[in-house]
Amino acid sequence: MSLVIDLFGVAAIGAGVFFFVAGAAGLLRFPDALSRLHALTKADNLGLGLIVLGLLPRSTSPLAALKLIAIWALVLLAGATTAQLVGRAVRRKGSAA
């Protein structure tokens, strides 16, 4: 059983880290602010989401698991709204912002 949990954890966390790498690469390589914002939100949503998924079976109590999910939900909310807000600020100022 613990082997299954470990394998699941390795797969999910590995995939999550991949999205972080992809997000950072996008932040570095994409040509304009709005595309970079697009890359960033992938790291927020999928990267942390998959890591939380991989850590969930290892949590010690139901409350700890609930907190993990809440952390992901909060980051999702923060990421989505800040992407919207920063994106609007970029548009308002033009591409130079």
Q: CB neighbours of 75 closer than 8 A, spacing ≥ 6? A: 44, 48
Region 1-40 residues binding another protein, contact defined as CB under 8 A: 6, 9-10, 13-14, 16-17, 20-21, 23-24, 27-28, 33, 36-37, 40
Q: Which residue shows structure tokens 């952390």?
A: 71
Amino acid at 47: G
Size (the chain), residues: 97
DSSP state of 45: I
Residues found near another protein in the complex (CB under 8 A):
6, 9-10, 13-14, 16-17, 20-21, 23-24, 27-28, 33, 36-37, 40, 43-44, 47-48, 51-52, 55, 58, 64, 67-68, 70-72, 74-75, 77-79, 81-82, 84-86, 88-93, 96-97
